[in-house]
Amino acid sequence: MKILLTGATGYIGRRLLPVLLEAGHYVVCLVRDPQRLDLDSANYPNMEVVKADLLDRDSLKDLPTDIDAAYFLVHSMSGGSKVFESLEEHASVNFVHYINQTDAQQIIYLSGIVNDDSLSPHLRSRKQVEHTLRESIVPVTVLRAAIIIGSGSASFEIIRDLVEKLPVMVAPKWLETRCQPIAIRNVLGYLTGVLDREDLYNRTFDIGGASVLTYKEILLSYAKVRGYRRWIVTLPVLSPRLSSYWLYFVTSTTFALARHLVDSMKNEVVVQDGTIRELLPMELYTFEEAVEMAFKKIEQSEVVSSWTDALSSTNMDRRYLQYIRVPRYGCFRDEQIRYFDRPEEEVLENIWQIGGDRGWYYGNFLWKIRGVMDKFIGGVGLRRGRRSPSELFPGDALDFWRVILADKQQKRLFLYAEMKLPGEAWLEFSIEKDEEGKKFVRQTATFRPWGLIGRLYWYAVLPLHYLIFPGMLRNLVNAISTQSAEETLEKVK
């Protein structure tokens, strides 16, 4: 089938795309910024990337009309309630205007469970989009979900932030509201399962996992899975605004997102009609099972929060490795960018030769001290070195890092820290081009702390980061690669 995928760069879209491609479908990805997709369609015969904006009807004129089905996965949670409601309505109206001119036989929309009479602005907007899509001449299949549990989803990362930061929580009364969370794996199963099912056209289904819990029970269940002891006291006096500020200051979410989430938490989001379970039978995961999967596995080509295993031990298709991303929420980052005008291959070789005997390009004695400290407390230290001075493959040990992705075609090296840390850390190098075609290296260090100790650790080493990371990138870009040095020496001889 030829499928239009809107929201291809979003949380669900990124995970759904590889599933559709692996199933043999031809996928047209509608994106506002093709660079965010980080996937060259020229390398994938069954994928096409088109640049368009659903808020701009004129930009949709050149979209293909010979599609068989379309996924509408566009949501907005930024700004005030009136702002995002207006944006979502405008986008859905433009989408309907476009889809009515195509050969599409089905629209699939992922909405929210909206069974309460008095809905929050967020859920009310989702319901309004449903109505707009149903005005299309194309049959619509609506899947309504509660919070989605998977590494990287906003709801899951907020849960993680709360539990890992606060041993004791004095929380608002909305923690007593019931919810039926669903694992990302089940969501993808439903999204693909309803595709091309004529008996499911023009129907709406609630989808949920195997657990019905209050938000308080969700937090305590998460703590149980992670081995934490947590205490929660609920108070009836916290207003929605105060609750939003509480979430904003305690977690890494924005205030706008916190406000919308708090407003939605007053609504019970529990499956009322379980018909979909009979029509699309599958194993539904409990909340605890979903959390465990989010921490132990790569889920649909994303690096989950507790990734520790080498990719060489998995059977994942290597062509989807470029989708790997670090967590977006609850993290500290140090990002450095440096432009260069020398041959790109030389800089790429420098990236591939990092570590081992060549070192880390700046402050090697500090890296060695860190390695000794790591070894002293039972870590791997720096003695592992590297398998080859110039080659890197997923799964390789690189000093106290593990190579997660080494893709020269995509010009990207991605490392996961295996030293002893009060958190998780990643280091990434990529060669990119700006809008003017100028080349630069992006170096990104990401750290996800575990609780208060992890945060204190980050701030304690921050002065060293200011010293090491800029110098490391500068010398990496300017250094003569060992391969170039050997070639120069050969010419001299």
CB 400 within 8 A of CB 419: yes
Q: Which tokens go with 307?
A: 């990734």
Q: Which tokens go with 49?
A: 């990337």
Quick one: which of 72, 20, 66 has its CA closest to 46?
20
Q: What is the CA radius of gyration of the chain?
A: 24
Total-model pTM: 0.64
C-alpha 226, offset from chain centre:
21
CB 445 within 8 A of CB 334: yes
Report the C-alpha gap between 150 and 291 in whole angstroms.
Answer: 7
Please give the order of strands across the beta sheet that includes 397-398.
332-339, 439-449, 423-433, 412-417, 401-407, 397-398
CB 175 within 8 A of CB 234: yes
Q: Which tokens go with 47?
A: 């994928």
- The amino acid that residue 442 corresponds to is R
Instruction: State the greatest distance between any 2 C-alpha atoms of the chain, in Å, as a whole number.
Output: 84
- Between strands 213-214 and 178-179, the pairing is antiparallel
- Residue 397 pairs with which residues in a beta bridge? 402
- Residue 2 pairs with which residues in a beta bridge? 26
Query: Would you write out the chain's pLDDT as a tens digit for each of its 493 residues?
Result: 999 999 887 888 888 998 899 899 999 999 887 766 655 555 678 898 888 888 889 999 889 999 999 999 987 654 444 566 788 888 899 999 999 999 999 999 998 887 777 777 777 888 888 999 999 999 999 999 988 888 767 777 777 777 777 787 777 777 788 889 999 999 999 999 999 999 999 999 999 999 899 888 988 998 898 888 888 887 766 555 666 665 656 555 555 555 556 665 677 788 888 899 999 999 999 999 988 887 765 333 333 322 222 233 333 333 334 445 666 667 888 999 999 999 999 999 999 999 888 888 998 888 888 887 876 776 666 656 777 788 887 777 788 888 888 888 889 999 988 888 888 889 999 999 988 889 999 999 999 887 778 888 999 989 889 889 999 999 999 988 655 544 544 444 4
Mutual angle of helices 255-264 and 81-99, in 10-degree steps: 80
Q: Which tokens go with 311?
A: 């990719």
